[in-house]
Amino acid sequence: MALSPEVREARQRAIVDAAHRLVRETGGAGFSMLQLAQAAGVSPATPYNLLGSKGEVLRRVVLDEFASFAARLARLPDDGPLDRLLGAVDLIVVHYTSEPEFYRGLYAAMIGVEANLLRDAMSEEGRHLWGDLVRAAMEAGELAPLVEPMAFTDLLLRTVAATVEAWLAEHWDQVRFAAEMRRASHLLVLGLVGAERAQQLKAELG
C-alpha cells in the first residue's frame, strides 16, 4: 500500500532527525543504515525506500542546518546589508555553540566516506546563502566591488571554515570563538569598505 504524502513526509522527517542525533552521538557519520532505521523507529528498508541512500540522508541533514541558520538570520535586525553580513558571521558562533557535538561530528564526517557529498552540499548551500549577503552589500555600495561577489564569498567561506575548524580542534570556549570569528570577518572586509567604516571596524576589534 502506498504511503500518504503526510505519512511519507513524517517518516522522512523521523529519518533525518535520527541522522542528526546519530551524527551528534557517534561523532561522525560512520553509523549504518540499519542503525539509522532503528534510531528512527522504522523498518530497515524504509530509509532506502524513502530517501534512497545514506548520502541523501546526510544531504538532508545539511539542508536542515542551513534552513535553521537562515531562520535565525531572518530574526536579525535590518541595519543594512554590510551589518547584516557581519551579523551573520557573528551568528555562526551562536548557532554552532548551541550544539557543538553535532558540528564536531559533521565536520568529522566531511573527511570520511561521505566527504565529497557532504562538502558539495555544504558548499552549494553556503555559496547560495552567503553569496546573497555579499552581493547585497556590494550592490548597496557598502563593499567595494574590487572582486566578483562570488570570489569574495568563496574567500569568506574558506575563512569561516578555517575558524570553525580551529574552534573544534583547539576546544576554544565561546568567548574565544566569537572573538576569533569577528577578527577574521572584520579583517577580511577592511580592504573593501570606506575610510569611516574601516575606522569603525578597527575600533570594534579593540
Helix axes 33-40, 54-74, angle to 10 degrees: 50
C-alpha span between 58 and 64 (Å, rounded): 10
Q: According to the model, what pLDDT value does residue 2 have?
A: 66
Phi first, then psi: what are they for 195, rounded to 5°? Answer: -60, -40
What is the per-residue pLDDT for 173? 95
Per residue, the 3-state secondary structure of the chain, as one string, reads CCCCHHHHHHHHHHHHHHHHHHHHHHCCCCCCHHHHHHHHCCCCCHHHHHHCCHHHHHHHHHHHHHHHHHHHHHCCCCCCHHHHHHHHHHHHHHHHHCCHHHHHHHHHHCCCCCHHHHHHHHHHHHHHHHHHHHHHHHHCCCCCCCCCHHHHHHHHHHHHHHHHHHHHHHCCCHHHHHHHHHHHHHHHHHHHCCHHHHHHHHHHHC
pLDDT in tens, the chain (206 residues): 566 778 888 889 999 999 999 999 998 888 999 999 999 999 999 999 999 888 889 989 999 999 999 999 999 988 899 999 999 999 999 999 999 999 999 888 887 655 677 788 888 999 999 999 999 999 999 999 999 999 999 999 999 999 999 999 999 999 999 999 999 999 999 989 999 999 999 998 87
CATH superfamily name and code, 55-205: Tetracycline Repressor, domain 2 (1.10.357.10)
